[in-house]
Amino acid sequence: MRIALVSDCYLPRLGGIELHVHDLAAQLRLAGNSVAVFTVTDSTGPDQGPVLRLPAVGGIPLPEAINALRRSLGSGMYDVVHAHTSFFSPLAWSAARIAAAAGVPTILTLHSLPAAGGVLAPRLLAGLDARLGPRIVWTAVSEVVADSLRQALPGRSVEILHNGIDPAPWRQPRHAGGPPTLVSTMRLVRRKRPFALLRILEAVRSESPANLRAVIVGDGPNAPALARAVERRGMTDWVELPGRLRRAEIQRLYAKTDVFLAPARLESFGVAALEARCAGLAVVAMGSGGVGEFIRPGVEGFLVDSDEQMAQVTAALLTDPVRLHRMQNHNRRTASGMAWPNVIGRHLHVYGRVAPQPALSAPVLASNSTAYENLQPTEPTR
């Protein structure tokens, strides 16, 4: 099948949607599909697979970018267009409109979770849906995002296309014997709540062993301010800010840490939390987002409602090593339902339904899903 993936945000910019689209393209190619990625994210480095980087100013595609989309998506080169959107994705929206108008089966996946009680996002989605028309197939990365989309688009069917993971590289040999260590990996932007995380860490330390260590992995616009806040609060001797790390570096780090904290309240899915869960870390996350689809309270970790509760639950775990080790062992030994064989099989099922192809019969879908178990995507730089 010939597939066009469209995402305004893509590597080398870091974030959940960027990494997901990269890995999705790699996995679809491993399944024997032809995949091209369209984006307005610039890059000076080499790309893995066809990536068409279109011109834009301030994230807004220039007219020549829209013309290029129109020529490519309307040329008959693609069997399906899969656009990935947040609440500001002009390239993805343009691609969906152009493809649908040209009669190309089009899927739009929402990767963002609106704030509870907000009216701007639902109105934006309703207006977008009205402009795109009934040919668009709406999907979401988690059930919590799908629920918000169904409320914004009454009567619309919304299916789930989860983000995926290859668990094997995350199951590194455990390095025991170090100090109790907390970790969080995020893009350092305000909506991920890195400054709230500092307050949570201080509260945990006040109730935990004195040698507690914490690591906040990531880069982003708030990185300089976060570093200043760590210094101002006197946390430099136990809180590390290593910045941007490669996946292999994060995997080695997780082998020496104990608990992963996810303080974002509007986490549409939570790829970083899923990676930590597969690495064998206990996960403590806000229950308002999509993390609850792979973290069961008391089994893989805990879901909380406030910063205070996150601190209390985390401190309790660190002072109960038997319970913590039991949770960690479960996470290391138990397969995740979000592994790529399941996720790609679901994508191919949806693709095959909107753009029927003989190669996507049920037996072939099943054989493709089985084949993924021995395949790994190329690792991007993070």
From 2.40.37.10, 3.40.50.2000, 3.40.50.1450, 3.30.70.330, which CATH number describes the 168-333 domain?
3.40.50.2000
pLDDT for residue 191: 94
pLDDT for residue 39: 98
pLDDT for residue 116: 73
pLDDT for residue 357: 63
pLDDT at 157 over 50: yes
pLDDT for residue 210: 83
pLDDT at 216 over 80: yes
CB atoms within 10 A of CB 170: 23
Q: What is the mean pLDDT of residues 153-174?
A: 95
Pairing of strands 56-57, 60-61: antiparallel
Q: What is the mean pLDDT of residues 105-130?
A: 89
Percent of the chain with pLDDT over 90: 84
Range with the lowest mean pLDDT among 15-19, 78-82, 242-246, 325-329?
A: 15-19
CA dihedral (183, 184, 190, 193) in degrees, to 10, reads -70
pLDDT at 361 over 80: no
Write out the residue limits of the CATH 3.40.50.2000 domain(s) in the chain: 2-164+339-374, 168-333
Average pLDDT across the chain, whole number? 91
Distance of CA 141 to CAs 69, 146, 161, 182, 348, Å? Answer: 25, 7, 5, 27, 15
| Burial tier of 261 (Cβ tally within 10 Å: 0-12, 13-18, 19+) | buried
Which of 86, 147, 104, 137 lies closest to 4 in space, CA to CA?
104
pLDDT for residue 22: 96
Peptide bond into 377 cis (omega under 30): no
- Note whether 190 and 222 are within 8 A (CB): yes
Q: Which phi and psi angles does 120 have, rounded to 5°?
A: -65, -50
Report the C-alpha gap between 12 and 86 in whole angstroms: 18
pLDDT at 163 over 50: yes
Superfamily name and number for 2-164+339-374: Glycogen Phosphorylase B; (3.40.50.2000)
pLDDT at 370 over 80: no
